[in-house]
Structure 1
Amino acid sequence: MASFDRQFSRRRLLSGAAALAGGGLLLGCAPGAGRSAAEINYWHLMTGGDGIVMSGLVDAVNATNPGFHATQTVLAWGAPYYTKLAMASAGGRAPDVAIMHASRLAGYAPGGLLEPWDLDELAAVGVTEKDIPPLVWQKGQYDGKLYALALDTHPFVLYYNTDHAAKAGVTEAIQTMDSPEEFVDVARKLQLVTGKHGLSYGYLGDGSQMWRLFYTFYRQLGAEMTLVPGKPAQVDEAAAVKVLTFVQSLLDDTIATRSGDGGTATSEFLHGESGMFFGGVWELPSIKAAKLKFDVRPIPTLFGTEAAYADSHTFVLPRQSKVDPDRRRHVYRLVAEILKRSVSWAEGGGHIPAYQPVIRSAEYQALKPQSNYAGIPAYVNYDPDVWFAGAGSDFQNYFAENVQNVYLGSGDPAAGFDGFVKRLNVLLDRPQPV
């Protein structure tokens, strides 16, 4: 760590980390101090059902008497979590291991807030590059080294009511539709059955929801979005306008409500008032609990190229001023054991395990509907690689600020997207905080 300390002063790291994470302050915690060698401090942001499953995974590993005991620290999702993680890493007093969304890596690895995984040490505990889907492995890399080891992929998908589909005569069409016109036709036939809407999609006040659907279809058109600090955003305006115009056409109060939020969309689908539902795989537990007859498939390829928006929960090694070799070896064992048990992560939370031996197992293949969308990591699309993007950042809020009126039907698609690009260019003109 001596070379790092020569390049970056602690004051610079602390101030940069605060800006990166949104200007929040680290509460008075020093997880690196006063621990026994066998105590592993693990930070994550899993709450609700995911938190219960993660707690069970950690308990299961601890119960094997592995020579260490992992202690979980659960912090508030989003900016509060990433603020504290950045500040703890900048101060060199970070936890032994932490969860980070893959989409946040570009804001942390380049500034020295994370340490790379040792591939030989990973191999020693049974985890190698061939065990992780190529695009997922690639997303975890920076400067030729692996900084983020994926636990899962959690994509945006299409749920559908199987009873409504049968009554509308579209069961097969839902599996084969491959154009905007076919999708609209299926949605309108479902609306005739439900009497309300063919599709549920909630986005109002939620930039994440707007972005997930937009970016899925944008990438299906083969469009790229390259964001390099110091340079103007490279985007495909024609593709963006085409997607926004299509989404706007779906929100016509017949196919889907023009102004619904996430809660409204979920409730509508659960009560049988729509035939299809755009949502994340993390919605699966609540939908299964409702005893609804439904199934799930990847969002259909309507614009020619397979593409699906997703993110991944990954394991990272936050920077520490002094690394205890024994505790670090225990971290590798902890992470490997969680990966090998991640079928329960799929069962309880709907996520797609990144560890391919789990995906190939009979136990996972028997999970329905989870195994129906297990192929998505082969064509997954994450947020653009730039320091201000990713889960819990303001990137998707900037999209909402400029595009929500387009979704509502009162805004011009070209003007809305142009406003978003201008906002990106302002950010790209700023130097990376760390």
Structure 2
Amino acid sequence: MTPPLDLNRRQFLGAAGLAAGTALLAGCAPSASAAGTRTLQFWHLLSGGDGVTMSGLLDAVNTAQADYRIRPTVLAWGTPYYTKLAMAAAGGRAPDVAIMHATRVLGWAPGGLLDAWDTGRLADLGVDASTFPDPIWKKGEVDGKRLSIALDAHPFVLMYNTDVCRKAGVLGADGRLKEAKSPDEFLAMVDAIAGVTGGHGLSYGYLGDGSQMWRLFYTLYTQHGIEMEMPQGGSAVIDKDAAVASLEFMQKLLDGKRAAKQADYGTAVAEFATGKSGMFLSGVWELRTMQAAKIPFDIAMIPPLFGTRTAYADSHSFVLPHQSHPDPASRDLVYRFVADMLKGSFGWAEAGHIPAYLPVTESPEYADLLPQAHYAEAAGYVRYDPPAWFTGSGSNFQGQFGAAAQPALLGGGSPADAIARFEEAVTRFLAQPNPADPEGARR
């Protein structure tokens, strides 16, 4: 993630100057026990169910060997986490390894806040391009340097209640959801499901949640076979016809019968979890929520309604926050740790995420893991946020999209006007220099 947009350049640079002296960073110096086990500092932002799963993975790698022990530090998701990580990296006293969203790495590259991975050392440990889906591996490279190693992909997907959908006649002979080939065909399926539930056919929470609006919108937009371009200092490249068509389709879903016109995220989760709707648009991170609800459900990729199969996603990725004087022994063990985590990521799959490491997802054990195996193909079709220093998970960029789109979704406003407002917001972002870029700071 880039330094948060609510942190201006002076605040960011001032915070960075204080980083080396903060008490928070005092624990980041390398340490080794009397038995020779070296402690590695690992920062991440995973809480809730994901936090529990991550703790289990860390326990597994800690007990499997005696050369290193991971000491995790968990910080609040979003601005608190990334601000502290930026301060640590700018001061050269960062943790040995950390988690970042892949979409936020680009913004950190110009300021040297991340150290590059040595691809040769990774390959020696069985981690290279051949062991990752192509779009996920490519996302970790910035200006010819490998700055991140993905642990997963967590795409936006379509969950569906198998009992409700069977009654609605929208399941195939294999018991899985039929794949709609057009917007109208999908709307007809939702209508059929609504006829069974007597309420809504589909649940989708979006009120006040720019990220939720963006995830569905950019899935539909990229299904037109295009992506947005946002060159720094230039003009955004946005296909307005595709953008308007995508937003118009979202309006048709939110007609009050197919899906609630006014629903926040929690309401949508609860509606689907209690069987009051037959479909649910959300991320794979809600898999365990639905398992706990004990409803009969399966998961599929969102069908290619506009012609191209895509899956909006982000990736939790391992990065090397900059250290002025990295300890060679600790750095070597960090490579081992990341390889161990990738090879042991089956447990991460159980939480719903798609492991990025192909030997895991191509294993017989994964093929038997349901419903995860039913949407594993999404890893080969992921579309990340448009590359820019201000985009990515939880960014103000996504919030600005929500501010532009919500009036159209909530009150039936003009999709064209909404896209125009969004384009104006992007233009403002593009005119701002990256706070982490030293060249930008001198301009």
**TM-score strictly above 0.5:** yes
Query: How many angstroms apart in 1 are the aligned matches of 2:28 and 2:164?
Result: 58
Question: In the alignment, what sits opposite 1:391?
Answer: 393
Letter in 1 for 2:375: Y
Residues 19-418 of structure 1 aligned to structure 2 (within 5 Å): 19=12, 28-31=23-26, 33-37=28-32, 38-172=38-172, 174-347=177-350, 349-418=351-420
Structure 1 unaligned segments of length 5 or more: list them: 1-13
Which amino acid is the alignment partner of residue 419 of structure 1? R
The whole-number CA distance in structure 2 between the counterparts of 1:28 and 1:253 is 53
Residue deviations 1:345-401 (CA, integer Å, cap 9, x gap): 011x20000000001111111100001111112111000111111113211100011
Whole-Å separation in 2 of the counterparts to 1:126 and 1:114: 23
In 2, Cα distance between equivalents of 1:33 and 1:75 = 15
Letter in 1 for 2:141: Q
What whole-Å deviation, never above 9, does each CA across 1:308-337 have from its counterpart, x for those lacking one?
A: 100000000000010111000010111111
CA distance in structure 2 between the aligned counterparts of 1:338 and 1:70, rounded to whole angstroms: 11
Residue identity in the other structure for 2:148: A
Unaligned runs of 5+ in 2: 1-6, 33-37, 437-443
Residue identity opposite 1:390 in structure 2: G
CA 53–21 in structure 1, closer or farther in 2 if over 3 Å, else same: farther
Residues 387 and 17 (structure 1 numbering): CA distance in 2 closer, same or farther, change over 3 Å? farther
Q: Report the Cα offset of residue 18 of structure 1.
A: 5.1
| Cα deviations by residue, 1:151-205 (Å, 9 ceiling, x for unpaired) | 0000000011111111111112932211001101100000010000001000001
Secondary structure class of the residue paired with 1:309: strand
Question: Do the aligned partners of 1:17 and 1:87 also contact (CA within 8 Å) in 2?
Answer: no
Measured after TM superposition, the shift of residue 66 of structure 1 is 3.3
Distance between the aligned counterparts of 1:352 and 1:421, measured in 2?
32
**2:35 maps to which residue?**
none
When structure 1 is superposed on structure 2, of 52-61 and 29-38 the one drifting more is 29-38
26-35 or 412-421, which deviates more: 26-35
Relative to structure 1, is the Cα distance of residues 267 and 391 closer, same or farther in structure 2, using a 3 angstrom cutoff?
same
Tell me by how many angstroms 1:237 deviates.
Answer: 0.7
Larger mean Cα displacement after TM superposition, 420-429 or 172-181: 172-181
**Aligned residue type for 2:231:** V
Aligned equivalents of 1:161, 1:17: Cα separation in 2? 51
Alpha-carbon distance between aligned partners in 2 of 1:420 and 1:176, rounded to the nearest angstrom: 31
Q: TM-score, normalised by structure 1?
A: 0.93
Distance 1:134 1:17 in 2: 38
Find the counterpart in structure 2 of residue 8 from structure 1: none
Match of 1:3 in 2: none
- Deviation of residue 224 (structure 1)? 2.2
SS at structure 1 position matched to 2:64: coil
Q: 2: CA distance between counterparts of 1:299 and 1:213?
A: 9
Separation (CA, whole Å) in 2 of partners of 1:403 and 1:17: 31
Equivalent pair of 2:45/2:74 in contact (CA under 8 Å): yes
Bigger CA drift: 60-69 or 172-181? 172-181
Give the whole-Å Cα distance in 2 for the aligned partners of 1:20 and 1:261. Answer: 37
Are residues 179 and 359 of structure 1, via their aligned partners in 2, closer, same or farther at CA, if it must alter by over 3 Å?
A: same
Query: What's the secondary structure of 1:175's corresponding residue?
Result: coil
Q: Distance in 1 between matches of 2:116 and 2:410?
A: 44
Question: In 1, Cα distance between the equivalents of 2:256 and 2:407?
Answer: 15
Contact 1:152 / 1:312 at 8 angstroms: preserved in 2? yes
1:412 shift after superposition = 1.0
Moved more, 63-72 or 151-160: 63-72
Note if contact 1:40-1:71 (Cα within 8 Å) is conserved in structure 2. Answer: yes
| Structure 2 CA distance for partners of 1:157 and 1:52, relative to 1, 3 Å | same
Q: Deviations over 1:89-139 (max 9, x none)?
A: 011010000000001011112221101110111122221111111100111
Distance verdict in 2 for CA 1:18–1:121, change over 3 Å: farther
Sequence identity of aligned pairs in percent? 53
In 1, Cα distance between the equivalents of 2:429 and 2:14? 14
CA gap 1:31/1:59 in 2 versus in 1, 3 angstroms: farther
* Matching residue within 418, 426, 429 for 2:428: 426
Q: Normalising to structure 2: TM-score of the pair?
A: 0.91
Are the equivalent residues in 2 in contact too, given 1:18–1:86 (CA < 8 A)? no
Aligned AA (1:43): W
Q: Give the superposed CA RMSD.
A: 2.0
Deviates more, 1:197-206 or 1:218-227: 218-227
Q: Is the 8 A contact 1:387 1:432 kept in 2?
A: yes
Counterparts in 2 of 1:147 and 1:21: CA distance versus 1, 3 Å: farther
Contact residue 174 and residue 186 of structure 1 kept, 8 A = no
How many residues align? The count is: 420
Alpha-carbon distance in 2 for matches of 1:286, 1:15 = 37
Match for residue 7 of structure 1? none
